[in-house]
């Protein structure tokens, strides 16, 4: 794939989600105008975005929902299987582990780790929780594509370093810290506090 | 406040986070250059961003960490108190309820609701879980600034509608759906799947 602008990549999951909903409700084709109204993005933006990948619409016909859904899924890499471990078996880690949709999209949870020895052996969604001390041994024996970091920020960086050493190249980071990692390592952060602050910013400016 | 570009607003929580960390580690002042290195944003971007709010640096001195932290906190509306309810007491709802940092920043959880009658009366972080049928009564009696929606997507829109009718104007939406709400209502969505897909996109393009 050529270099796709970041803003386009950010919108792809939204396209995928809406096309999935349309597919589920039995819609077979949709014009960029209808898609635009549904998604709150201009029709020309949609056409431009999709042109990065070759453009899939037909003049006067619109987009075939099912095939566009599949194509965008493939672009997003959802036609592959990913081995995911969850580091931190607190509420957030459990929420991720129990989210069945992730598995449907190819993200298979193969390990869950926690520092609390009381949790060791607990079964969460068919996976037995291991103690964090077993992390390196696990990584030596199993290929891990993505590690979800659902731990306090004080320990997140140290854990990421440990995993990078054992070949983990992608982190889904929920710790409230920007991880410093080698350049080849991918970090996708979900900073819940940042999101909440954007909400309070909007609220507090609304009230003025 | 004049109209601040969205991209700037999106970066403000990151500034706030880094300044908070610097403050905690005892740093009193910082140049835009040092801040830039730390945050992976260019120094001119930082100066530009902060100029929207008057600009706070002094030539040759840099920024006063503590005062800039406070000022950005105020811009983000963190000097106010928000009454938050959590709708959906599953793992994700519990994770939010138990996140003490939110309370420190002024987000006080005043109610937790769930459709599961077995959860009624359970105490999560000093708040007793109510049945979802009690939502309207609660909203009549209590001012709610923000409702966190941690429910399955099939019920999210219906619940949001019910709350909008009773004056809730801001949603922190974790349901995997784009909510349609009246124009005056604020929605900040955290689509975890979208984030995971951006990760698989990066992974799958890395491998090529």
Sequence-distant contacts of A28-33: CB under 8 A, at least 24 apart: A28/A64, A28/A65, A28/A66, A29/A61, A29/A62, A29/A63, A29/A64, A29/A65, A30/A62, A30/A63, A30/A65, A31/A62, A31/A63, A32/A57, A32/A62, A32/A63
Which of A124, A197, A206 should we substitute to test contact with B (largest number of B Cβ atoms within 10 Å)? A197
pLDDT at A2 over 80: no
Q: What pLDDT band is residue B207 in, cutting at 50, 70 and 90?
A: low
d(Cα B20, Cα A165) in Å, to the nearest integer? 29
Q: Which residue in A75, A95, A205 is closest to B91 by CB distance?
A: A95
Q: What pLDDT band is residue A58 in, cutting at 50, 70 and 90?
A: low
Q: Say if CB A17 and CB A73 are below 8 A apart.
A: no
SS3 state of residue A135? helix
Sheet holding B127-131, edge to edge: B123-124, B127-131, B107-114, B82-87, B146-149, B170-173, B186-189
Contact B106 A12 (CB under 8 A): no
pLDDT at A62 over 90: no
Question: End-to-end distance of chain A based on CA atoms, in angstroms?
Answer: 46
Give chain B positions within 8 Å (CB) of A192: 96, 99, 190
| Closest-CA residue of chain A to B72 | A201
Q: What is the mean pLDDT of residues B172-177?
A: 94
Q: What is the mean pLDDT of residues A108-133?
A: 96
Contact B172 A145 (CB under 8 A): no
Residue A81: its H or E element: none
| ipTM score assigned to the predicted complex | 0.90
For chains A and B, CB pairs below 8 A equal 182
| Closest-CA residue of chain B to A75 | B201
Question: End-to-end distance of chain B based on CA atoms, in angstroms?
Answer: 46
pLDDT in tens, B100-147: 788 888 999 999 999 999 999 999 999 999 999 999 999 999 999 999
pLDDT in tens, A174-201: 998 889 899 999 999 999 999 999 999 9
Q: What is the mean pLDDT of residues A50-54?
A: 81
d(Cα A20, Cα A70) in Å, to the nearest integer? 9
Q: What is the mean pLDDT of residues A108-132?
A: 96
Sign of CA dihedral B113, A92, A111, A109: positive
* Per-residue confidence (pLDDT) for residue B41, from 0 to 100: 87
* Per-residue confidence (pLDDT) for residue A4, from 0 to 100: 81
Least confident of A62-66, B99-103, B181-185: B99-103
Sign of CA dihedral B116, B118, B121, B123: negative
Structure tokens, A46: 């949609």
Contact A186 B206 (CB under 8 A): yes
pLDDT at A168 over 80: yes
Q: What pLDDT band is residue B55 in, cutting at 50, 70 and 90?
A: low
Contact B107 A82 (CB under 8 A): no
DSSP letters, A31-57, are -HHHHHHHHTS-HHHHHHHHHTTT---
d(Cα A77, Cα B207) in Å, to the nearest integer? 10
Q: What pLDDT band is residue A207 in, cutting at 50, 70 and 90?
A: low
Give chain B positions within 8 Å (CB) of A169: 203, 206
Give chain A positions within 8 Å (CB) of B95: 90-92, 95
Q: What pLDDT band is residue B2 in, cutting at 50, 70 and 90?
A: low
Query: What percentage of residues in chain B have a pLDDT greater than 90?
Result: 70
Query: What percentage of residues in chain A have a pLDDT greater than 70?
Result: 96
Higher-confidence residue of B138 and A103: namely B138
Give chain A positions within 8 Å (CB) of B96: 192
* Per-residue confidence (pLDDT) for residue A59, from 0 to 100: 67
Q: What is the mean pLDDT of residues B174-178?
A: 91
Separation in Å, CA of B30 to nearest CA in chain A:
18
Give chain B positions within 8 Å (CB) of A197: 12-13, 16, 76-78, 105
Which of A36, A200, A208 should we substitute to test contact with B (largest number of B Cβ atoms within 10 Å)? A200
Enter the pTM of the model: 0.90
Q: What is the phi-psi region of residue B37: left when phi exceeds 0, alpha when psi lies from -120 to 50, beta otherwise?
A: alpha
Separation in Å, CA of A178 to nearest CA in chain B:
8
C-alpha closest to that of A11 among A56, A48, A64: A48
Give chain A positions within 8 Å (CB) of B186: 199, 202-203, 206
Structure tokens, A14: 């939204």
**Mean pLDDT across chain A, nearest whole number?**
91
Q: What pLDDT band is residue B26 in, cutting at 50, 70 and 90?
A: very high
Contact B80 A204 (CB under 8 A): yes
Classify strands A123-124 and B107-114 as parallel, antiparallel or unpaired.
unpaired
* Per-residue confidence (pLDDT) for residue B59, from 0 to 100: 67
Least confident of A96-105, A112-121, B119-128, B141-150: A96-105
Q: What pLDDT band is residue B57 in, cutting at 50, 70 and 90?
A: low
Which of A53, A77, A179 should we substitute to test contact with B (largest number of B Cβ atoms within 10 Å)? A77
Contact B200 A80 (CB under 8 A): yes
Contact B13 A197 (CB under 8 A): yes
Separation in Å, CA of A117 to nearest CA in chain B:
20
Which of B77, B144, B185 should we substitute to test contact with A (largest number of A Cβ atoms within 10 Å)? B77
Residue B119: its H or E element: none
Q: Which residue in B75, B190, B198 is closest to A192 by CB distance?
A: B190
d(Cα A140, Cα A162) in Å, to the nearest integer? 12
């Amino acid at each position: 794939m050529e270099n796709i602008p970041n803003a386009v990549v950010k919108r792809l999951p939204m396209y995928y989600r809406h096309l999935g909903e349309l597919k589920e409700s039995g819609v077979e084709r949709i014009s960029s105008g209808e898609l635009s109204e549904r998604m709150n993005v201009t029709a020309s933006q949609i056409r431009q975005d999709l042109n990065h990948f070759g453009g899939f619409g037909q003049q006067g016909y619109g987009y075939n929902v099912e095939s566009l859904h599949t194509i965008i899924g493939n672009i997003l890499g959802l036609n592959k299987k990913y081995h995911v471990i969850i580091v931190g078996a607190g509420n957030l880690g459990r929420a991720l582990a129990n989210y069945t949709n992730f598995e449907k999209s190819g993200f298979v949870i193969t390990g869950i780790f926690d520092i609390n020895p009381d949790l060791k052996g607990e079964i969460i969604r068919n996976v037995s929780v291991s103690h964090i001390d077993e992390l390196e041994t696990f990584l030596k024996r199993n290929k891990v594509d993505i590690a979800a970091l659902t731990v306090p920020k004080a320990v997140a960086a140290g854990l990421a370093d440990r995993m990078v050493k054992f070949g983990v190249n992608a982190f889904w980071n929920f710790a409230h810290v920007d991880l410093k990692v080698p350049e080849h390592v991918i970090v996708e952060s979900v900073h819940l506090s940042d999101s909440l602050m954007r909400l309070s910013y909007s609220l507090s400016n609304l009230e003025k």
